[in-house]
Amino acid sequence: MTAPQNRNPLPTGSDIILPWHLRLPKPLEKDFRLYFLASVSKVAPWALGLVSILIVTAMLIESWIGADVINNSWRPRLFTLMLAGGCVILTRKLQWREWLHPATLALAFAIALTGNYLGVHVDHPLAYTFFLHTPLSIIMICILIRVPFYSALLSSTIMIGAMIATLVANPERTPFESTTLTMVTLAFASMSLFGQYVYERLLRQHFLSEHVLYQHRNELHSANLVLENQATVDGLTGCINRRGMESRLNHLFHLHKQGNPDAPERLSLLLFDIDFFKQYNDTYGHPAGDECLKKISNVPLSMVQAETDFVARYGGEEFVIVLTDSSFNDALVFAERMRNRVEQLGLPHSGSRVSQVVTISVGVACSDHGASNGAELLKQADEALYQAKGAGRNRVALMNSQGLVEMLS
């Protein structure tokens, strides 16, 4: 039997244990506040709409019960209705949402204090039921429109304290009524706060999971960029390899055809070959040939300037330079300067038939001269390079607008 293999999956955040007090490090706590607020603001308008409907319904019932009841209740009811509307407005814009939780707590206090006020001033056998506004307010901030647990705990404690103080100060309430109201309120409050604690704990766990996954997604993206760079960069010269060159060239032509505003107006392609490089390797050896390739490639790499310009190693000793938005004349000047700088490096080459130092031959083509894609442009530059080598090497040849090859004089 084979031993079971140890699996090491990427962390998901589910294995992170939250402390009982739920607090996170300050930077994460700040991010969680925004995360919590974003989750609440999605349902807050509907929840506040329900609260507004309940307030209006209460006013209708109180007007049906009697004129003395509605005369006492319509002002505080209208005030709480205005607060609910203000909370809805705060959900409309992102920069206002940071005030949603304080406004929700203000609404809850207004509802609870309205109940205390009406429980004292309304003369009715069922007036004691107005004190149930306090547990309803606690349910609202813990379940309906959720506020952070510690804010809900502190606010609930204050509202319960205010209700008990009002009951004690009101001699019309019998001890039975006061005790019953207090016990019911404490029961509702404890269940609501426990539910809010569990909900926030789960939400924080989910937040941490997303945070961990986001970090690993960034790390994976960075790793993919490194792998992509390794897959498209020539390890010897640091130039883009043939695969990367074809991909970039085709992408630039695609942007050009689509009329993309980021597309270059034209593309100039320079294809150069190190003259008699096989003889160089035979004479000096392959390690020296590799050093020669590095030094030669550094010349065009030091000359390109635009972000979209690039140098690629096309084959063994063949290199491609793509210039964007350069005029054809500028591309020819670039090619001649590059040829001259390579010659001035003075790398000895006793096996060359054209010079005692390493030289290059260059073919130049431009997209303005009829090439509709990268392959055609490369073919034109290759034809120009072939003619440059046939004309004696160590020179620049170009494909003109008539499709004919000329030597740069």
Give the residues across from 271 on adjacent strands: 320, 363
> How far is residue 407's CA from residue 271's CA, in Å, rounded to a whole number?
14
**Does position 19 have pLDDT exceeding 50, yes or no?**
yes
> How far is residue 314's CA from residue 300's CA, in Å, rounded to a whole number?
14
Average pLDDT over residues 284-296: 94
CA dihedral of residues 246, 249, 252, 254 (deg, nearest 10): -50
Contact present, 239 and 311 (Cβ < 8 Å):
yes
Mean pLDDT of the chain: 87
Contact present, 162 and 113 (Cβ < 8 Å):
yes
Average pLDDT over residues 233-251: 88
Q: In the chain, what are the helix, strand and coil shares in percent, each to the nearest 5?
A: 65, 10, 25
**Does position 346 have pLDDT exceeding 50, yes or no?**
yes
For the record, the structure tokens of 20 come out as 């009982």
Average pLDDT over residues 229-245: 84
> How far is residue 55's CA from residue 49's CA, in Å, rounded to a whole number?
10
Q: Say what the pLDDT of residue 125 is.
A: 86
- 34-67 pLDDT, tens per residue? 888 888 888 889 999 999 999 999 999 988 988 8
Q: Say what the pLDDT of residue 15 is.
A: 55
Average pLDDT over residues 234-250: 89
Give 1's pLDDT tier (boundaries 50, 70, 90).
Answer: very low
Give 286's pLDDT tier (boundaries 50, 70, 90).
Answer: very high
**Does position 220 have pLDDT exceeding 80, yes or no?**
no
pTM of the full predicted structure? 0.53
Average pLDDT over residues 91-119: 90
CA torsion sign, 209 to 214 to 215 to 220? positive
Burial 26-60 (b: 16+ CB within 10 A, else e): eeeeeebeebbbeebbeebbebbeebbeebeebbe
